[in-house]
């Protein structure tokens, strides 16, 4: 469920693009330092956005050089902000580990063999991350239990299912001490989480229909093997537009000190562009790739 929150390259200034890449690489570096080299492969665009939101309320972090395993020699520019990345790296490991558990639960024995291997591979980093962020780890388990109950009951409610996941994303702001910052940050992340859940549901709809797997869109609408009707897609578009507008309103309430243009690009341009690509069936999830010129919704 990762990879839908990214900047829109065509309208991104080069300096902001460099900042985004440096933030992504900084998260990769910090995650490896705190939870082991293997967690570099869990870094994704969505959690880079989370870091940018949290870092935006502080003075801009310094850029430096860091070794990159994707390059045989040399290094990349990255943000040196270990304190700023601490919670984000823990949240990322926790969320990715639960995503692996979901793949195991949904895949059957043989189809989930790869996920079972990943579970063993990331069990230790997950335990370490849960100790670093125990409140968030408990929140994730609680909300996922609620989501799984809705899935088991084949709930047709888009609001209830999206809310369960959105609360997980919004919880990434619960540790912020200043309420004047925490409330709009939580609202922003909630709307982005809601967007991610519904976007992922539409992206997976045809596959879930073939597999007979749960998808809230299957039970809310009457899709065919080709997906939703034009009328149903228009209704879903209204829901997504509402989430983008509310996310933008929450962003405007944050006292952003750095990266404001980049965050606005992601919210107002990146999110709609990605959803348009998903609607057209042209979106390819590349969330685990280290960003380069491929970042273009």
Q: What is the pTM of this model?
A: 0.92
HSE, side-chain direction, 13 A CA sphere, residue 51: 35
- Tell whether the model's pLDDT for residue 294 goes beyond 50: no
Of the given ranges (73-82, 104-113, 193-202), which has the lowest mean pLDDT?
Answer: 104-113
Provide mean pLDDT across the span 151-178: 95
The tokens for 112 are 């989930």
- Map residue 76 onto helix, strand or coil: strand
Distance (Å, rounded) from C-alpha 193 to C-alpha 171? 10
Provide mean pLDDT across the span 177-182: 93
The tokens for 116 are 């079972």
Do 245 and 267 contact (CB within 8 A), yes or no?
no
What is the share, in percent, of the chain residues with pLDDT greater than 70? 93
Provide mean pLDDT across the span 185-189: 98
Mean pLDDT of the chain: 90
Question: 63's torsion region: left (phi>0), alpha (psi -120 to 50) or beta?
Answer: beta
Other C-beta atoms closer than 10 Å to the C-beta of 199 total 24
The tokens for 17 are 């693009």
Residue tagged 């405007």 (tokens): 252
Q: What is the DSSP letter of 13?
A: -
Distance (Å, rounded) from C-alpha 191 to C-alpha 220? 20
Do 42 and 50 contact (CB within 8 A), yes or no?
no
Residue tagged 């580990």 (tokens): 97
84-142: pLDDT as tens digits:
999 999 999 999 999 999 988 877 666 778 889 999 999 999 999 999 999 999 999 99
199-209: pLDDT as tens digits:
999 999 999 99
Q: Rounded to whole angstroms, what are the CA distances from 242 to 232, 236, 248?
A: 16, 10, 10
Do 81 and 88 contact (CB within 8 A), yes or no?
no
Nearest Cα residue to 297 out of 287, 165, 193, 238: 287
- Predicted confidence at residue 72, as pLDDT, reads 66
Domains of the chain: 9-279 (1.10.600.10)
Provide mean pLDDT across the span 206-223: 93
Nearest Cα residue to 129 out of 164, 98, 105: 98
Q: 140 exposed, middle or buried (CB, 10 Å; 0-12, 13-18, 19+)?
A: buried
HSE, side-chain direction, 13 A CA sphere, residue 184: 16
Provide mean pLDDT across the span 1-19: 88
HEC string for 235-289: HHHHHHHHHHHHHHHHHHHCCCCCCHHHHHHHHHHHHHHHHHHHHCCCCCCCCCC
Distance (Å, rounded) from C-alpha 270 to C-alpha 276? 10
- Predicted confidence at residue 109, as pLDDT, reads 66
- Predicted confidence at residue 289, as pLDDT, reads 36
């Amino acid at each position: 469920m990762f990879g839908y929150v990214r900047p829109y390259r065509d309208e991104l200034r080069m300096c902001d693009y460099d900042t985004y890449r440096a933030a992504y690489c900084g998260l990769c570096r910090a995650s490896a330092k705190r939870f082991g080299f293997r967690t570099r492969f869990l870094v994704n665009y969505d959690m880079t956005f989370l870091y940018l939101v949290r870092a935006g309320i502080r003075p801009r972090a310094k850029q430096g050089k860091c070794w990159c395993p994707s390059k045989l020699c040399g290094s990349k520019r990255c943000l040196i902000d270990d304190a700023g990345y601490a919670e984000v790296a823990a949240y990322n490991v926790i969320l990715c580990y639960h995503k692996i558990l979901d793949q195991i639960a949904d895949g059957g024995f043989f189809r989930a063999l790869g996920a079972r291997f990943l579970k063993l591979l990331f069990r230790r980093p997950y335990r370490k991350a849960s100790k670093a962020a125990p409140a968030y780890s408990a929140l994730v388990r609680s909300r996922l239990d609620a989501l799984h109950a809705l899935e088991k009951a084949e709930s047709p409610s888009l609001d209830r299912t999206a809310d369960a996941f959105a609360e997980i994303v919004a919880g990434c702001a619960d540790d912020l001490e200043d309420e004047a910052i925490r409330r709009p940050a939580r609202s922003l992340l909630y709307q982005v989480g809601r967007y991610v859940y519904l976007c992922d549901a539409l992206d997976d709809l045809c596959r879930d229909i073939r597999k007979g797997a749960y998808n809230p869109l299957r039970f809310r609408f009457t899709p065919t093997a080709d997906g939703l009707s034009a009328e149903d897609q228009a209704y879903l578009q209204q829901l997504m537009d509402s989430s983008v507008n509310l996310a933008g309103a929450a962003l405007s309430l944050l006292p952003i000190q750095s990266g404001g243009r980049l965050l606005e690009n992601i919210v107002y341009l990146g999110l709609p562009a990605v959803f348009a690509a998903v609607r057209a069936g042209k979106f390819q999830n590349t969330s685990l790739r280290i960003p380069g010129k491929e970042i273009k919704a």
